[in-house]
Amino acid sequence: MTANRRFLYWGVLLIALGGVVVAADLGLVTESSIRDALGLWPLILIALGVAIVVRRTRYSLGAWLVAAALPGLAIGGLFAAGPRLAIDCLSEGRPTLETRAGQFEGPASVSLRAGCGSLSVTTAAGSSWQLAAVDTSNAVARVDASSTDLDIDAGSRGHWDGNIGRSTTWRLTLPTSVVNVLDLTMNAGESTIDLDGATIGSIRLTTNAGETSVDASSAVLGDLSATVDLGSMSILLPAGSDIVGSLDVNLGELKVCLPEGVGLRVTQGDALGEVRYEGRTQDRGAWQSPDYEQAANHVDLLVNVSLGSLEFNPIGGCK
């Protein structure tokens, strides 16, 4: 009698998840040690990569069991440390308000890294930008600006843990003038991005243990790159743009909605995840929507999904 490997992998993942939560409840591991361990989350991707490399060798079963256990430990750690992280984010310090503004003199590059709070991005006609940031800790956003560049950082420098951004509320208004590169990262928080009327050459979106909603239905886009790690993201794409790019989902969920008349072509990597188009699961490899050849505009994407889900035009839409 042989075990179904799919059930075996999910069983190991759930055992690891529950084991961490129980160990934390019993005081066998501390919340600080869990937070430190969560900083090693890239090991999950390494384990998945090793499992794929050795999948046709005698080490296959052991490698896949490790690859299943590590995500379970990570998810369990988030459940165990989540309440404490939330308390850290909701610091009772006196809120500080910082406002900054500027103007671009030509096509610009914008980079923004926020965390542990909420981010709202909207647009306005013209070439001016404005940031209003509220923080309940002593930290304030670092803003480096010039006539062609805008770099805003909560202080995390791209990392996410219990100390980032402390209950930040950011409201950023971008101009509808041309932005060459828009790079947005949300760590352990919630972001709403409305790009109404914007013209963006390349947009890069990253969500780590958070939730991001992007409405680019009225924008003009070129390249698209989106990464979801232990979180969720939804993207509304525009009509009238030919878009190329990549999507990566690691222990998360990504929904992408395309308007009618836009054809989709996907090259799907070999990974432990599910890709669906209009409710139907797609096989790994290259595939395209039925209307791709006749469509006036096209979206061409390379996608990789590791223990997560990616849905194009999901039933119920992108929310």
pLDDT in the model for residue 317: 84
What integer is the mean pLDDT of 293-318? Answer: 89
pLDDT tens digits, 45-97: 666 666 666 566 666 667 667 766 766 666 666 655 554 444 445 444 555 66
Average per-residue pLDDT for the chain: 79
Interatomic CA distance for residues 224 and 228, integer angstroms: 13
Contact predicate 276/312, CB 8 Å: yes
Question: What whole-number distance in Å separates Cα of residue 120 and Cα of residue 122?
Answer: 7
Between 8-12, 120-124, 137-141, 237-241, the lowest mean confidence (pLDDT) is in 137-141
pLDDT band at residue 216 under the 50/70/90 scheme = very high
Q: Is the pLDDT of residue 157 over 50?
A: no
3-state SS of 51-109 is HHHCCCCCCHHHHHHHHHHHHHHHHHHHHHHHHHHHHHHCCCCCCEEEEEEEECCCCEE
User: From the CB of residue 204, how many other CB atoms can be counted at a distance below 10 Å?
Assistant: 17
- Cα-Cα-Cα-Cα torsion 304, 111, 140, 177, nearest 10 degrees, comes to -130
